[in-house]
Amino acid sequence: MLASACGGGDDEGTSAGGSVKVGLLMSQSGPASAAFKGVDQAMQARFKAYQASGGPCSSTQFNLVTADDQSGPQGALAGAQKLIQQDKVYAMVGISSYFFGAAQFVTTAGKSTPVIGGAFDAAPQWLQSGNNLFAAAPKVPDFDKTYATIGEYWKKMGVTKVAAVSYDTESSRKGAEQILRSADKAGLQRGLFYDKLALGSSDVGSIVLGIKNSGAQAVFLPVNPETSMAIIAGLKQSGVQLKSVMSASGYGGDLLASAPAVKGAQGMTFMPQFSPVELNTPATQKYSEALKKYAGSATGIPTFGQTYGWWAADLLIYGLEKAGCDASQADFMTTLRADENWDAGGLFPLKRSFTKISPDKECYYLIDLQGNAFVPRKDAEPVCGDVIK
């Protein structure tokens, strides 16, 4: 009764009441692995919650197999080859900062296999239309676009000069440049921009001094929370009072589980592109309760990895419902590519369109860490901005 589809070769379909083999590429070892804990647990939680809900394809069994990118592009390529050519998965999920190492392979030799991913690795294939990549995120990052969002928000706060610090990686550096251009368009001045930090580094003494000497009043940090907190601690010790410290990542239950992290992140503003569970909407309540019940979450506040794992599983389910529970891989991709209405069950502020890869509008929910809790900012639920032509 199994009907696992064959990736990259025969285009068999799944069958209602049958089994779908799903491959997951993630960092299970190496320096990036800590940020991706719980991806598989969240995917399983979404599948179990769906099966319990009685949806159209809820009798389908989702069998998850994994591959380790070993925190590197070559590992990502080897992992993708394993999942598609050896495990012959129906669909592959790539939640990896190093997916760019596998992107050319999956869009050529592996083009018959639907690939769902985070799209935060800066692989150019995410921005190419008509291939087999589907971003399970509010938007595909197009770093060549400039949005008014954060620059205008800082301007309203009275900020006049901004700084940014990034890792020496494509996605981190380009993310910083994009926010700095937003500040430029809002008429703000630039202070320090340092883009050569080693991934995961906490050796930030010279960076702290540079931010202080530049006179910046706000700083953007597209880096891991550990690095952000080292920078913030250094600024506090140097007596620097900033109007805004924005971190591209860090919102989640993993930060709250660490007392030193909670202490170090006080005063930081996080910027998820999805509804934080603290808003207590019907969508976030459903999400949070499923994490508690099926993923062992004590608080129901998702980690970074759980967030992307849930979205990826939700998009796979959504696509199967639209294309049919017994859809072939080709039918799944054709149907999903024409869709413009996915919003992760109400977690996104805007509908996700797969017909237009990169949207002309973006939104963030800005949320502060106050004490031992995340508190949404009352002036930013969410803050949105259009692309600047």
Percent residues over pLDDT 90 in the chain = 78
Of 13-17, 43-47, 83-87, 120-124, minimum mean pLDDT range = 13-17
Fold of the CATH domain 19-139+279-358:
Rossmann fold (3.40.50)
Tell whether the model's pLDDT for residue 10 goes beyond 50: no
Q: Which CATH superfamily is domain 149-272+363-386 in?
A: Response regulator (3.40.50.2300)
Report the distance separating Cα 344 and Cα 351, nearest Å: 9
Work out the angle at residue 201's Cα, subtended by the Cα atoms of residues 199 and 202, and round it to the nearest 5 degrees.
155
Q: What's the confidence (pLDDT) of residue 380?
A: 66
Nearest to 311 by CA among 181, 117, 171: 117
263's tokens: 């202490």
Whether the per-residue pLDDT at 17 is higher than 90: the answer is: no
Of the pLDDT bands very low, low, confident and very high (cuts 50, 70, 90), residue 102 is very high
Q: How far is CA 180 from CA 40, 176, 272, in A?
A: 34, 6, 18
Residue 308: closest CA among 382, 387, 251: 251
Residues of the chain within CATH 3.40.50.2300 domain(s) are: 19-139+279-358, 149-272+363-386
Structure pTM? 0.88
The answer to whether 73 and 336 have CB atoms below 8 angstroms apart is no
Q: 163 burial class (0-12, 13-18, 19+ CB within 10 angstroms)?
A: buried
Asked if residue 90 lies in contact with residue 15, where contact means CB atoms within 8 angstroms, the answer is no
How much is the pLDDT for 2?
31
- Whether 367 has a pLDDT exceeding 70, the answer reads yes
**Three-state secondary structure readout of 278-291:** HHCCHHHHHHHHHH
pLDDT in tens, 266-275: 989 999 999 9
Quick: pLDDT tens for 212-251: 999 999 999 999 888 998 999 999 999 999 999 999 888 9
Q: What is the mean pLDDT of residues 146-173?
A: 95
CB–CB of 58/80 below 8 Å? no
What percent of the chain stands above pLDDT 70?
95
The pLDDT score that the predictor gives to residue 155 is 97
Residue listed under structure tokens 């320090």: 192
Mean of the pLDDT values across residues 13-32?
80
Each residue's pLDDT tens digit, 341-352: 999 999 999 999
**Which residue in the block uniquely carries the two structure tokens 């390529």?**
77
